[in-house]
């Protein structure tokens, strides 16, 4: 299990930021991702927090014209520290994905909230940078370091945090634009607001 240290910030000019990322980082691929969060049926408590089980269907298009599709399962132990996500992450690919989802159903899981995002992936010195448009939420920059669980965990996180903030500063993005909520929280809040505004 690796530790994922990640921050995301709102983006107001995605085209300008995309150009800047091409200058400051190495382009990896364009992508489309669809995440579904699987929930345990009421009364089943095999996982401490079932909302952390995610099945992602993703498609990546590379410069050479090659397109790669995958289904990736992720289980995260999530924690927020000063607006930055620090997650213990277990992740693996499954083939075929449909059969794995049938397996989850047979174990008492049901599909819950889902989200769709698309964008471009860049890399620089161990930092993964994704410029993403999340359906119904808008544009974000996600910066992530995947750290090996060696050495003092607090020192590893502090060093990663400094590197992520440094790159965010280079991209000209204000720390005031950092979004500390998970996308699932934002989508849930948006749904609640829409329901409150809906006529009776």
Q: What is the domain-level CATH number for residue 15?
A: 2.40.320.10
Residue 46 DSSP code: S
pLDDT one-digit tens code per residue, 33-68 = 999 998 887 765 555 554 478 999 999 999 898 999
Element (H, E) at 183: helix 183-197
141 φ, ψ (degrees, to nearest 5): -110, 130
Burial of 128: CB neighbours in 10 Å, binned 0-12, 13-18, 19+: middle
Tens digits of residue pLDDT in 61-92: 998 989 999 999 988 777 777 778 888 878 89
Going 162 to 167 to 173 to 178, the CA torsion angle's sign is negative
d(CA 23, CA 8): 20
pLDDT at 192: 83
Burial class (CB in 10 A: 0-12, 13-18, 19+), 8: buried
Structural domain including 46 reads: 2-197
Nearest Cα to Cα of residue 140 among 182, 170, 90: 182
pLDDT given for residue 51 in this prediction: 47
Residues 14 and 119: their CA atoms lie apart, in Å, by 10
Count how many domains the chain has.
Answer: 1
pLDDT in tens, 124-170: 999 999 999 999 999 999 999 988 777 788 888 889 999 999 999 99
pTM: 0.85
Calculate mean pLDDT across residues 95-112.
Answer: 89
What local confidence, expressed as pLDDT, does residue 26 receive? Answer: 97
What pLDDT does 139 receive? 98
Alpha carbon distance 183, 194 (integer Å): 16
């Amino acid at each position: 299990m690796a530790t994922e240290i990640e921050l995301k910030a709102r983006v107001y000019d995605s085209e300008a930021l995309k150009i800047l990322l091409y200058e400051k980082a190495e382009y990896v691929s364009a992508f489309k991702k669809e995440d579904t969060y699987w929930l345990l049926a009421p009364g089943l408590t095999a996982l401490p927090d079932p909302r952390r089980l995610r099945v992602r269907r993703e498609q990546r298009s590379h410069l050479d014209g090659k397109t790669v599709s995958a289904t990736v399962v992720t289980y995260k132990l999530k924690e927020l520290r000063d607006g930055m996500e620090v997650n213990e992450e277990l992740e693996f690919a499954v083939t075929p994905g449909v059969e794995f989802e049938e397996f989850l159903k047979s174990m008492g899981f049901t599909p819950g909230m889902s989200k769709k995002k698309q964008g471009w992936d860049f890399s620089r010195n161990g930092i993964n940078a994704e410029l993403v448009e999340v359906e119904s939420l808008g544009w974000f920059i996600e910066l992530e370091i995947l750290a090996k669980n060696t050495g003092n965990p607090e020192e590893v996180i502090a060093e990663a945090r400094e590197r992520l903030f440094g790159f965010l500063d280079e991209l000209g993005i204000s720390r005031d634009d950092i979004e500390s909520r998970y996308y699932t929280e934002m989508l849930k809040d948006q749904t609640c607001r829409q329901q409150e505004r809906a006529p009776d």
